[in-house]
Amino acid sequence: MEALKIERIDPYRLKIFKTPPMRTWGIVYANKVIEAGLEKDEALKQVANVACLPGIIGPSIAMPDIHWGYGFPIGGVAAFSLQDGVISPGGVGYDINCGIRCICTGLSIEEILPIKEKLLGEVFHRVPAGLGARHKRFKLSQKELKEIMIKGALWAVKKGFGTYDDLEAHEDYGSIPGADPDMVSGRACERGLPEVGTLGSGNHFIEIDVVDKIMDKKIARMFSLFKDQILIQVHTGSRGFGHQICDDYIRIMLSAGSRYNIYLPDRQLACAPIDTKEAKSYLGAMAAAANFAFANREMITYLIRETFEDLFGKSWENLGLRLLYDCCHNIAKIESIPWKGKSIEACIHRKGATRALPSGDARLPLRFKDTGQPVLIPGDMGRASFILVAGDNAKETFFSACHGAGRLLSRREAKRRAKGRSVFDELSKKEIYAIAASKATLAEEMPESYKDVSDVVDTISGAGVAKVIAKLRPIGMIKG
Amino acid sequence: MGYQYIDHTADLGIKVTSPDIKGLFEEAALAVVKIMGGAAKHKKISLSVTVDGLDRVDTLVRWLQEIIYLIAVKDIRIADLEITYIDDTRLEALVKGIYSHSGLSTEIKAVTYHNLEIKKRHDNLYEVAIIFDT
C-alpha cells in the first residue's frame, strides 16, 4: 500500500484519502492531541486496511480512542453491504461482546466511604477475577450453557438473578437474536462452562465511581443521576468462550478464503461474504458468545447486589441498585443505517466501539426514547469516566461512539515505567482503593498507560456524535 | 536464539529466532509457557500433540493455541516439549509436565495472525514476530 494521505477536515475529524487497494476513504475522529499520539503506531494503516475489504459502505471509521489492534484497529467501525459485503471474526475480536455496564445506586459518597475497602474486598471475594478465574458457586450444565447462548441476560433473569427491568437497560435487551449453539465448538463450551459470573483479567474491572460533575441537569435527572452519587461500572466479556469461538472461525474463514478470492492486507482480517455458510455459522456462534457475555455481566451484577444487601442490611431495590445501561464493545450486527437518503440494512462491525442511538430512534426502549441511548466511556483508573448520550451526528458513524480512553503505552512499557513505584500507593494518595488479582495487571493498567479520556470525550462530543451528561471520579476498583 | 519482547500498544508481542524451523516452533512455544507462567520442573505426564495447519504460519498459530489450551484449560504446567515431526501443514510433538492449579501470570487470549510472517534472515536464522491478544 502507498503512504497514507491524511488531511484534517475540521477540529474533530481526519480524512484518510482513498488510495489503491483501498475501496473507500477513512474517517478518524481525533482532536489535535489525539492526532499527535497516532504517529507512532500502525492504527491508521489498520483503518486503511479495513477500507480494502469488499462491500464496505461509506468510510472505514475510527473512534477517538483508536489504537493499534490486530486486523481492525481498536476503535474501528465499518459497515458492510448484505449483498456484496463480508463478515470478519477478527473485525469483532477475540473477546466477543466485551462490554461495559453502569449500575446506579441511591447512595451518596458519605454512605460508602466508611465501608469502601470492606465492600470491594467482599465483591473481590465473590466475583472470581484474574487469569483462569472459574466459578465454584454457579455450576452449570451443558443444557444451561445452551440456554445462556440463546437467551443471554434473559436466562439470568428467568433464574432469579436479575429483573425484567434490567433487560430494558441492555443493548438489544441483553439477547442478540440468531444465536446457534450448534455452531459452537465443544472446546468453546469446555472453556465457557466454569466462567459465567467471572471477571477475567487484563483490562477487565469492577469500579466504584462517584458522580463528580453534572453537565446536563435535565438528562441527568432522567437517568436518575445526582451529584456525589455512587455508581458501579463492570467491564468484562465472553471470556474463554468467546476467545475460542473467534479463534475457531478465523480458521474457518482462512480455509474458505481461497474459494472467495478476497484480497487480505492482513491475514487477521480473514472474512467471508455475508451470504455464505461460513458467515452465517459465524453469526450464529458470535451471537451465542455475545449472549454469554450479557449473562456474565448480569450474574456479576447479582453478586454485587448481594454484597450490598449483606453490608447494608437492606434489599438492593431499597438501595437503588438499578442498571443504567449495558452495551457491547466488540460485535458485528445487522442493523439499519441511513445511506444515500434511505434506510438500509448492513452488517456493522464494532471493534472497541459502542452503539449510540440518538433520541427518537425506534429501537430504543421507552425509557431512552426522549433522551437517546446512554454512552458509557470509562477512563483509566486514576482520572475520570464519563456518561454521555448519543447525539444527532451519530448517524454519520452508523450509530457508534467510542468505548474508553484507549491505550497509549504498551503493557510492557507500562510495567517498565512502574518499576520501583507502587501503583497502589499512588492511587491511594488520590483516595482510590485498588484490589488486583495480580500486581503486574495493576502496573499494566496504571493511569498513564491510557490516553486522557477527556481528549476522547472532547472529540466525540465536539463532533456531535454524543453529548456529555456527567463526569465520574473513581474511588475504588477491582482489576482482574 | 530464544525470544525477545516487541512493543505493541494494546497487546503483547514477541520476536523469536532459531537456526531451523523446528527450533523456531519450539522456542515460540517455550516463550508462551514462560509468559503465561505455565512452567513446571517435573515430568510426570507426557502428552502427544498433533496439529494440522493450512500452511507454515497457520501451523505455528495452531501449535501455540494448543499450548495455551493445555495450560489455561487443562491445567497442565509444562516442563519440556519436543517436536517429533514437522512439515508446513503438520506438527507432532511430545509435551511433558504435571497437572497443577498453580496461578498463572499473564493471560494470553489468543495468538493472532496479525502481520505474521516466518522469514529467513541474511544470517540464515529463521525469525517470526507474533502478536498475542492479552
pLDDT in tens, A298-316: 999 999 999 999 999 999 9
How far is A269 from chain B, CA to nearest CA, in Å? Answer: 8
Number of A to B CB contacts under 8 A, please give it: 98
Cβ separation A270–B11 shorter than 8 A: no
pLDDT-based confidence at A137, cuts 50/70/90? confident
pLDDT, residue A438, reads 79
Sign of the four-CA dihedral A331, A199, A116, A407? negative
Find out whether B70 and B78 touch, Cβ atoms under 8 Å: yes
Tens digits of per-residue pLDDT, B30-49? Answer: 999 999 999 999 999 999 99
- % of chain A surpassing 70 pLDDT: 99
Pick the closest to residue B107 from A465, A198, A5, A466 (CA basis).
A198
- Would you say residue A203 has pLDDT above 70? yes
- Residues in chain A with CB shorter than 8 Å from the CB of B58 are 251, 254
CATH of the domain at B25: 3.55.10.10
Top residue of B112, B117, B130 to mutate, by most chain A CBs within 10 Å, is: B112
Residues A357-367: tens digit of each pLDDT: 999 999 999 99
- A410/B7 CB distance under 8 A: yes
Q: Is A170 a catalytic site residue?
A: no
pLDDT of A1 over the 70 cut: no
Q: Would you place residue A213 in the very low, low, confident or very high pLDDT band (cuts 50, 70, 90)? A: very high
User: With contact defined as beta carbons under 8 Å apart, do A390 and A401 qualify?
Assistant: yes
Q: Is the predicted ipTM greater than 0.85, yes or no?
A: yes
Higher per-residue confidence, A153 vs A444: A153
Higher pLDDT, A299 or A137: A299
Give the model's pLDDT for residue A441.
82
CATH superfamily of A6-479: tRNA-splicing ligase RtcB (3.90.1860.10)
Q: What is the DSSP letter of A173?
A: G
**A411: chain B residues, CB-CB within 8 Å:** 11-12, 134
Cα dihedral sign for A72, A77, A78, A82? positive
pLDDT, position B96: 98
Q: What domain count does chain B have?
A: 1
Average pLDDT over every residue of A384-411: 94
- Tell me how far apart the alpha carbons of residues B63 and B61 are, in angstroms, rounded to a whole number: 5
Domain boundaries along the sequence of chain A: 6-479
pLDDT digits (tens, 9 = 90+) for A66-93: 998 889 999 999 999 999 999 999 999 9
Domain that holds residue B103: 2-133
Interface check B100 vs A, CB under 8 A: no
Contact flag A412-B7 (C-beta cutoff 8 Å): yes
Per-chain mean pLDDT for chain A: 94
